[in-house]
Amino acid sequence: MEKKNNSIRYTIFVYFTITALAAGLLISLSLYQRLSSQVAEVVQEENQSLINQVARSVESYLRTVMKLSDSLYYGAVKNADLSSQSINNEITLLYDNNKDNVDNIALFTQDGAMVESVPAARLKKNLNITGEKWFSNALEKTENQHFSDPHVQYIFENNENQYRWVFSLSRAVELTEGTSTTQGVLLVDLSYSSLEHLFEGVTTGKGGYVYLMGSDGEILYHPRIQLIDSGRLKENNKVASGYKDGIHREVFEGDNRIITVKSVGYTGWKIVGVTPNSVVSLNTIKTRLFIVFMITLILFILVLINSYISSRITNPIKELEKSVGILEEGDLETAVSIGGSYEIQHLGNSIKNMAIQIRVLMDDIVTEHEAKRKQEFDTLQSQINPHFLYNTLDIIVWMIENEQKNEAVKAVTALARFFRISLSKGKSIITVRDELEHVRSYLMIQHMRFKNKFSYEIQAEEECMELTSLKLILQPLVENAIYHGMEFMDGEGEIKLSVMRKEDNLIIQVSDNGLGMTEEQVKSLFSHEVHVTSKKGSGIGVKNVNERIKLYFGENYGLTIDSEPDEGTTITILLPAVPYDSVLEKEKQS
């Protein structure tokens, strides 16, 4: 699989976003834990405050009951002679004043005989009062007041309150009968509803509740006391012995919960607040939605900041990349974008300096290439075979010996023009007119040598005469036409040169009616193998002419050959139609 190349902006964006997201999650988690801890602390403080308040209410209620007990004892029982007077009125008065909280008030001797009862009631038959726990506790610890567990009133009969839930306060008292005193027991049945009323509506949050537990572990009050009594619900009854006052965490029946314990003075009772762990955590739907919203908001802000920062970092790099791309395409003159941080500016300056160095090196290479091309060009031009000169001079000597002075003069004049144009003061570029004059001199000399074995014709449009031509490109082609096309031909040969302009191109054609060539022979003329020319000629082949044209004018120009065996050959030269004056002007400027 091909590896995907990610942009630097994408890379920065992704890594920064991942880092920011991780940081956001850590911050959110820390914030969540902090809020959870604070919520737990607040809830626990509120619960403890609530339990303390309930404890104060219970203690206040118990103090009221104990004051009633003291009033009964010291105001009615202790100073009365039971043998001669009744204390019913005093007890009834106190009962009437407290009947909202009191169900029964009864006075018993230490033998279990009932002395007084308000409201009037009878003891149940066959009931031994002395065996009751509240009775024995009062006589065993005479200095204390004792509270029993909640129970259904069961010692009186024929009373409308017979089946009501009560809890009892009992204490030892002195009974005076004449001159003797004996111990007795004062019983006050308190209405359970009065105690229950203290806990109504008291909760420790959603799902939380408060219950009252006795010192012996019995539950005195519970909002679900019926379910507990029926066994369908369980409650931790070890709180009384296992927990001190304060806040505790426990797992009961698989539920994590927080227990707040507060002891009620004098009685040993304990008020217990139960709070589910979910109440003190942030696991509600609203809280979760709020946290998700906060994380999303933080992530959105971080993405915006990330996008801005990555843009500030990568935009200068992208601009620099564009500049480098233009440089790669070859435009070394383009301005290199330099901006951004110090490192990017330094990189941009380095690329700019590199581009300058490349331009300098390329200029040096072009200069060196031009010098090399001129050297190659001069080398190609210097390949004129001396045999041509020797043969021409032999003809001139022969003409002089045979007193053909006029012909000799023409030959010498043609040879002089030939070499004058060949030298051309070292120039590589001449006009089409001079190039045609050069090949005309060459044809005249060769025409004399071959004793009129061929004829030639030169046709050129006047508008082409002052256009630019590469020096010494026609003579080698005419030379090939003479030596290779006509030397072994029967009959008179014909050579025709034509020059024309077609739009922005200069077209020169050299045609002969010689032996012609096969397609393989035509290809061999342009091959990179060394082409051996006739030793009688100049030594400059078609390949060299083609290479010279391409060296100077470019790959779009050069030679094309159209030839058929026994049909002749036509060589077409394609050059740009450039005025010679413009070339001279450019050479002067350079």
Report residue 461's pLDDT band, with 50, 70 and 90 as the boundaries: very high
Q: Is the pLDDT of residue 373 over 70?
A: no
Q: Give Cα separations from 281 to 175, 294, 500, 538 (angstroms).
A: 60, 18, 100, 107
Residue 125's φ and ψ, nearest 5 degrees, are -65, 150
What confidence score (pLDDT) does residue 535 get?
44
State the pTM of this model.
0.49
Which of 429, 301, 235 is closest to 27 using CA atoms?
A: 301
**Geometric angle at alpha carbon 234, from 231 and 237, rounded to 5°:** 120
Q: Is the pLDDT of residue 2 over 70?
A: no
Query: Encoding tokens for residue 106?
Result: 């009864």
What confidence score (pLDDT) does residue 463 get?
92
- Collect all residues with Cβ–Cβ distance below 8 Å to 53 and sequence separation of at least 6: none
Q: Which of 327-336, 440-449, 561-570 has the highest mean pLDDT?
A: 561-570
Beta carbons within 10 angstroms of residue 80's beta carbon? 17
Rg (alpha carbons) of the chain, rounded to whole number: 65
Q: Is the pLDDT of residue 161 over 70?
A: no
What confidence score (pLDDT) does residue 547 get?
85
Percent of the chain with pLDDT over 90: 11
What confidence score (pLDDT) does residue 562 get?
93
| Cα torsion angle, 566, 572, 573, 578, sign | positive
Report residue 127's pLDDT band, with 50, 70 and 90 as the boundaries: confident
Beta bridge partners of 458: 497
What confidence score (pLDDT) does residue 273 get?
87
Burial-class residue 507 by CB neighbours within 10 Å (0-12, 13-18, 19+): middle
Give the integer Cα–Cα distance in Å for 63 and 167: 15
Q: Taking residues 435-448, what's their average pLDDT?
A: 86
Q: Taking residues 212-218, what's their average pLDDT?
A: 81
| Cα torsion angle, 560, 562, 565, 568, sign | negative
Q: Taking residues 137-159, what's their average pLDDT?
A: 82
How would you label 130-156 residue by residue, b for 16+ Cβ within 10 Å and e otherwise?
A: eebebbebbeeeeeebbbbebeebebb
The per-residue pLDDT for range 44-94, each reduced to its tens digit, is 788 888 888 888 888 888 888 889 899 988 888 888 888 877 888 888 898
Give the relative orientation of helices 342-381 and 285-328 as an angle to the nearest 10 degrees. 20
Beta bridge partners of 4: none
Q: Could you give the domains of the chain?
A: 8-62+199-283 (3.30.450.20), 78-195 (3.30.450.20), 286-373 (no CATH), 383-589 (3.30.565.10)
Q: Is the pLDDT of residue 3 over 50?
A: no
